[in-house]
Structure 1
Amino acid sequence: MYFEFGVVGINDGTTVTIVPSQPVAFDGQNYTTGQAFSVGLDRFETLQVQTDEDLTGSKITASQPVAVLSGNMFAVCLPAGVPQVGSGDHLVEMIPPVDTWGKEFVTVPLTKRTAGDLFRVVAARDNTQVDITNENTKTLNAGEFWEIDVPSDEYRHVTSSEPVLLVQYSKSSDADNTLTDPFMMVIPPVAQFETEYTFSTVDLISDLSEPTHHINLVIRSANKAGLRLDGQPLPSDTIWHDVRESDYAAAQLDISAGTHTVGHLSPIVTIGLFSYGFVRPESYGYPGGLRLARIAALCSTTAPVPADRVDNDCDGRVDEELLNGIDDDGDGLIDEDLAIGNCADNRDQYRACLVQQCRNLVP
């Protein structure tokens, strides 16, 4: 089992500074926990750091934008304190920049599994208070993480005082005798949910006779009726679960192999979507998409530009208003952070435009 992360350069002359959370060796040099070192990268150059100790909480900064991928060469994924033996797999996910982390999340169990899922909350700032349904409050400092084992019948609400990263792990087959390997999936904060998604299932080649594909959906309970899967209302037998201590609901759906779309009739209703699948003995999982708005960065109010994916009013949300003279998001401001541009050029015609294009408003 090797813990690892990689960094990809996008621009020439980029300086990457790494502060590892464990002792590491890199380019013939040994570095202790917390000892910073820097590496130069040009466009499309890469570096990799690997060790046999958990590198969660390592800090990576760069003089110019870079891509960061993190994971494990062969992870087993069982709860802490349990011997990490059994089925395993290579895990890797691209890690969103800290400026895009959030303060509110919803966790949804993975269908077919019965022994629960593992979640990790990672803090970027000191004195971050984290609250999770059915758990005692915990305070994390920068680089610290909290791992919890959530039963397969529980839907949790996660909030924090400072932006955090949340990751979900599908457990090894030994947890519940499900013949499938683990996977790792970044869970976007609700503030980074999108209004529509186009996504594809992944071909699972180990056993072509028995692949299954699934999605988890998260949405505010009041907005469920406007959801569309491949242009049609959700199946009538869809089971919704209210998420305690929140106004969100979540559902698990089985889907066919191939490309699908999920969206809402309203241009300001956002949805969380997670796509995953199982086959003997493989699996996959990934968020169907997410915004990467800089909701955790220092913010200054800006003039609203429709669909600019900028937090114009510095409330931690993006493009949440219609140009209709109404306070759609309930923050006391009107038309301050607009969702779409194709109807917003003419206020007098805006309502008619939405009725025609979005079909969700009554004249």
Structure 2
Amino acid sequence: MTEDLTGSKVTATQPVAVLSGTVFAPCRPMGEQQRGTGDYVVEMIPPVDTWGKEFVTVPLKKHTGDDLFRIVAARENTQVDVTNENSRTLNAGEFWEIDVPSDEYRHVSSSEPVLLVQYSKSGSADRTDTDPFMMVIPSVAQFESEYTFSTVDLVRGPSGSTHHINLVISSADKAGLRLDGQRLPSDAVWHDVPGTRYAATHLDVSSGTHTVHHLSPIATVGLFSYGFVSPESYGYPGGLRLARIAALCSTTAPVPADRVDNDCDGRVDEELLNGIDDDGDGLIDEDLARSNCADSRDQYRTCLQNRDQYRTCLQNRDQYRTCLQNRCRNLRP
């Protein structure tokens, strides 16, 4: 089959998984001849109810000949805005393919939920030791605050393989990021994403398993893991929430870290239990991340060591009782 099935609608009476891809793709723009090294590219497609309205694109390390992106709409009259591009309106099942220069960081926003996918091109497109892969880009609303991820062993010349991650985070939260428990390397170069509060960076990582987390449970980060050796590659989002932020919503009582949009604002678990409007929407403690003091002895020590968090736990008797109920009662510094 040679037809492009992008935009196809799949429904089922019971839960199913949908994977999309092709057995061999050089991943060049549609208007170009599809030639050069290619790969089997595939991704599991998230349910439409989990698609988002705001994204950040980050170029892939090593590439110099641009990165491909496709934006797929699920609903009629979806207006899509992309940095340095003219706006477009897509109907359900339509898609927009964009070839983004390798030195540009873009902001994508839409009036209705969309799916964004990034493609690594054939290494022959820019004479680099890279190859094609397909990678779903989660919306910023689906970012997590912690990840455990692993590199992929590449069969062709494993000793020459390179492994990389792209990180996206609010500029104000960069200092709290940790890679394998340590601060990010001092030579990490951050790039501001035009028109947004976000910044992004590339990092090289060694082969094996790694962790990325933020000291605050409400400071979320996008992580994308990928690697190359000629002529092989891999790429995948390091993790993502699958909250139903695009589904019909009704307000619910907040439960810490329930991954539910309790206040129907298109975001999930964005508040601390501290009597403060952390997300600036005029509501307080309405959609909670994990409890401030609760989940491990190390987190409780951190709470005590940090003056602001300490005040959060102890500023009044009711909040202290709540903290105790969230398993702090059995923890000792």
Q: TM-score, length-normalised on structure 2?
A: 0.89
Tell me whether 1:303 sits opposite 2:253 in the alignment.
Answer: yes
Match of 2:91 among 134, 141, 144: 141
Map of 1:325 onto structure 2: 275
Tell me whether 1:343 sits opposite 2:293 in the alignment.
Answer: yes
Map of 2:213 onto structure 1: 263
Map of 1:83 onto structure 2: 33
For 1:278 and 1:356, the matched residues in 2 are separated by 44
Offset, 1:353: 7.1
Match of 1:179 among 92, 107, 129: 129
Gap change, CA 1:202 and 1:66, over 3 Å in 2: same
Map of 1:93 onto structure 2: 43
For 1:95 and 1:144, the matched residues in 2 are separated by 16
- AA matched with 1:219: I
**Bigger CA drift: 90-99 or 202-211?**
202-211
- AA matched with 2:245: I
Is the Cα–Cα contact under 8 Å of residues 120 and 132 in structure 2 kept in the other structure? yes
- AA matched with 2:84: N
Offset, 1:328: 0.1
Gap change, CA 1:266 and 1:61, over 3 Å in 2: same
Tell me whether 1:355 sits opposite 2:299 in the alignment.
Answer: no
- Structure with more of its chain in helix, by fraction: 2
Q: CA RMSD in A?
A: 1.8
Q: How does 1:275-294 map to 2 (within 5 A)?
A: 275-294=225-244
Map of 2:321 onto structure 1: none
1:225-260 superposed Cα distances (whole Å, 9 cap, x missing partner): 000000000000100000001100000000100000
Gap change, CA 1:360 and 1:290, over 3 Å in 2: farther
Is the Cα–Cα contact under 8 Å of residues 62 and 130 in structure 2 kept in the other structure? no
Number of equivalenced pairs: 308
Match of 2:15 among 56, 59, 65: 65
Match of 1:152 among 102, 106, 130: 102
Q: Secondary structure at the match of 1:67?
A: coil
Tell me whether 1:194 sits opposite 2:150 in the alignment.
Answer: no
1:245-297 superposed Cα distances (whole Å, 9 cap, x missing partner): 11000000001000000000001100000000001210000000000000000
Match of 2:193 among 240, 243, 246: 243
Q: TM-score, length-normalised on structure 1?
A: 0.82
Between 1 and 2, higher relative CO (CA 8 Å, sep ≥ 6) is seen in 2
Offset, 1:362: 6.9
Is the Cα–Cα contact under 8 Å of residues 36 and 125 in structure 2 kept in the other structure? no
Is the Cα–Cα contact under 8 Å of residues 304 and 310 in structure 2 kept in the other structure? no
Offset, 1:205: 1.4
For 1:278 and 1:307, the matched residues in 2 are separated by 35
Is the Cα–Cα contact under 8 Å of residues 169 and 185 in structure 1 kept in the other structure? yes
Gap change, CA 1:291 and 1:268, over 3 Å in 2: same
Offset, 1:181: 2.0
Gap change, CA 1:197 and 1:226, over 3 Å in 2: same
Is the Cα–Cα contact under 8 Å of residues 306 and 344 in structure 1 kept in the other structure? no
1:298-326 superposed Cα distances (whole Å, 9 cap, x missing partner): 00000001111100000000000001000
- AA matched with 1:206: R
Offset, 1:179: 3.1
